Structure 1
């Protein structure tokens, strides 16, 4: 039986080695979406992405912010997948400038906060309490 480099890594991490030098999309726990070339991975699934962009989606618009080399701690990765080059440029979304997408994101966050205030007020009137500051991880 022959031994390979992949034998030294747990099964999940070993499959990441097959993705080296490929363009990946990485969704982080905080909701950010990164797109970049996987250059390195370790036994903890920590990633080094090269030529990374942060893609922000608001409605049917998106904007890309260049981030360069990006190191991602493995525990922060929610989803990871290879970008299909053939489909990458046929997105059903409209690309806008960084300033426009950041402004749209700010407005979206303000609307969400306003909705949470209205919900908290309605629940308070019914004798219940709502804490929007709790994250999903705090609930489990």
Structure 2
């Protein structure tokens, strides 16, 4: 096997199933159909996988074009071991509700931290208020 520099090394991975972790935290799983010199990807039969605790759900997304600068991690999925997971697959509706509850819990915890720091006179800028500075 010859070593190819840059994204050319992914040519051997065309038509294989891959997991792609995006910069915004989303996880995509699909078949790599195309790649260019900027690491832009075209995925086919793509699903967006959402994990919450020990549950996961897949949302079908079809053909998905990913700009290379948004890719954090790209890895081939071993089709023989794909079903060997300790996670429980649930419906799309259930995983979206679990995700909403998890996000709400995190938001409430963040608000408690901000309030706890405000009481003694400390303050920290929150991500949603950084534009004011």
Comparing 29-38 with 119-128, greater Cα deviation is found at 119-128
* Counterpart in the other structure of 2:97: 103
Residue in structure 1 matching 2:29, options 31, 35, 40: 35
Alpha-carbon separation, structure 2, partners of 1:122 and 1:86 = 50
Shift of residue 17, structure 1, vs aligned partner? 1.4
How many pairs are equivalent? 127
* Counterpart in the other structure of 2:45: 51
Runs of 4+ off more than 4 Å: none
Match status 1:64 vs 2:58 = yes
Structure 2 unaligned regions, length at least 5 = none
Shift of residue 121, structure 1, vs aligned partner? 1.0
| TM-score (normalizing by structure 1) | 0.85
Alpha-carbon separation, structure 1, partners of 2:17 and 2:45 = 9
Alpha-carbon separation, structure 2, partners of 1:12 and 1:112 = 38
| TM-score (normalizing by structure 2) | 0.89
Match status 1:116 vs 2:107 = no
Shift of residue 66, structure 1, vs aligned partner? 0.4
Alpha-carbon separation, structure 1, partners of 2:9 and 2:117 = 47
Per-residue CA shift, 1:33-76, capped at 9, x if unaligned?
A: 00000000000000000000000000000000000000000000
The two structures, once aligned, show a CA RMSD in angstroms of: 1.8
Alpha-carbon separation, structure 1, partners of 2:69 and 2:117 = 34
Are the equivalent residues in 2 in contact too, given 1:50–1:68 (CA < 8 A)?
yes
Secondary structure of the residue aligned to 1:113 is helix
